[in-house]
Amino acid sequence: MVSEADDNKFTWVIKDFSSLQSRKIYSDEFLIGGCKWCLIAYPKGSKVDSLSLYLGVADHESLPLGWTRNAKFSLKLVNQFSDKSSILREATDWYNQKTPSFGFTKFLPLAKLHSKDGGFLVNNELKIVAEVHVLQVIGEAEGSQESVQPMKKTKMNGYGTGNKTVDVNGFQVSTSQVAYVRCVFEKHPDFASKVRSNNQHLKSTYMNVLLELIETLCQLPENLSDDDLSEASAAVLYLSQVGFKVDWLEKKLEEVKEKKKKMYTGKAQLQRMEEELQNLTKKCSDLEDLVKKQNVALSFSDVV
């Protein structure tokens, strides 16, 4: 049975948690963004002394070759005494045949989990809330109509229906993408030499991911959020997994991250300097007032 999740959220209540003997347990399947998901837990940890929690693609065994899911998700271990003490972990990842599940191996140490006053295990029940936002889907289960959730249309990727396509080194790309794709191949002739898929639909999607990633890296670091950089890292990993040589993109992404880090450091230093300047300005003002008082001429009564 597949449950329809409300507001992209699914709640899993695990009863008799302390009595579970299975090394690995699964939640019911739930539907978000047109995809079937499930939660996976290791009550005694996956080779660690911590609760391990993962989000998995429930029907990955029935999906066609080349399927992928890009999702931003969070897993929340609810503290039943105080919601402020709940544990929340977030990530953005690409799911595929090699990695049908992602999550957190060290979610919470078992000692804290089983603490009587911890608030996580109450009446021997554990409560987990998953929130999933599906960013892109490639490949549907057998019996479903093949579909791709498109990325936003941008200057480079030109993604959309009705566009005329041109073959560039074995990739069918829209006319608005031709110049960009040719430029990539001129600078990195072998970057797609290990991409083995013959499915033009998938290859076009790969190229859209690549171009959107490049466009992200072209932006000023101050205009990129942490989520943007996280999604860019996930895109680099995904492109590498499907066969692209993207070491040059990895290097560029690290440069952008470093620039953003320096920008934050520079802003912090500037703020400290401004605060110091304000303090110095106030001290100067106080000294000027003191000098003015000391330079006042004495009156007749002061002398007499």
- pLDDT digit string, tens, across residues 51-102: 999 999 999 888 887 788 889 999 999 999 999 999 999 998 888 878 899 9
What confidence score (pLDDT) does residue 161 get?
Answer: 41
- If one counts the domains in the chain, the total is 2
**HSE toward the beta carbon, residue 78, CA cutoff 13 A:** 14
Residues 27 and 107 reside in one and the same domain = yes
Residues 100 and 24 reside in one and the same domain = yes
Domain-embedded: residue 55: yes
Residue 292's alpha-carbon distances to 49, 280, 282, in angstroms, are 70, 18, 15
Boundaries of domain holding 230: 165-259
Q: Is the pLDDT of residue 243 over 70?
A: yes
Residues 118 and 179 reside in one and the same domain = no
Please indicate whether residue 190 or residue 5 has the higher confidence score (pLDDT). 190
Q: Is the pLDDT of residue 159 over 50?
A: no
Residues 67 and 184 reside in one and the same domain = no
Angstrom distance (rounded) from CA 261 to CA 46:
34
- Tell me how far apart the terminal alpha carbons of the chain are, to the nearest angstrom: 104
State whether residue 189 is helix, strand or coil.
coil
pLDDT category of residue 146 using cuts at 50, 70 and 90: very low
Residues 238 and 197 reside in one and the same domain = yes
Q: Is the pLDDT of residue 144 over 60?
A: no
pLDDT category of residue 172 using cuts at 50, 70 and 90: confident
Domain-embedded: residue 272: no
Domain-embedded: residue 119: yes
In the numeric block, which tokens belong to residue 122? 């109450």
pTM of model > 0.75: no
Q: Is the pLDDT of residue 126 over 80?
A: yes
Residues 217 and 113 reside in one and the same domain = no
| Radius of gyration over every alpha carbon of the chain, rounded to an integer in angstroms | 28
Residues 100 and 178 reside in one and the same domain = no
Residues 62 and 182 reside in one and the same domain = no
Domain-embedded: residue 268: no
Domain-embedded: residue 98: yes
Domain-embedded: residue 160: no
Residue type, 180: Y
What confidence score (pLDDT) does residue 5 get?
Answer: 64
What confidence score (pLDDT) does residue 163 get?
Answer: 56
Domain-embedded: residue 195: yes
Residues 172 and 247 reside in one and the same domain = yes
Domain-embedded: residue 265: no
Residues 129 and 169 reside in one and the same domain = no
What confidence score (pLDDT) does residue 32 get?
Answer: 92
Residues 18 and 103 reside in one and the same domain = yes
Residues 120 and 226 reside in one and the same domain = no
17-26: Cβ within 8 A, 24+ apart: 17/43, 17/121, 17/124, 17/125, 17/126, 18/114, 18/121, 18/124, 19/124, 26/56
150-157: Cβ within 8 A, 24+ apart: 151/208, 151/209, 151/212, 154/211, 154/212, 154/215, 155/215, 156/180, 156/211, 156/212, 156/214, 156/215, 157/208, 157/211, 157/212, 157/215
Task: Find out whether 200 and 172 touch, Cβ atoms under 8 Å.
Answer: yes
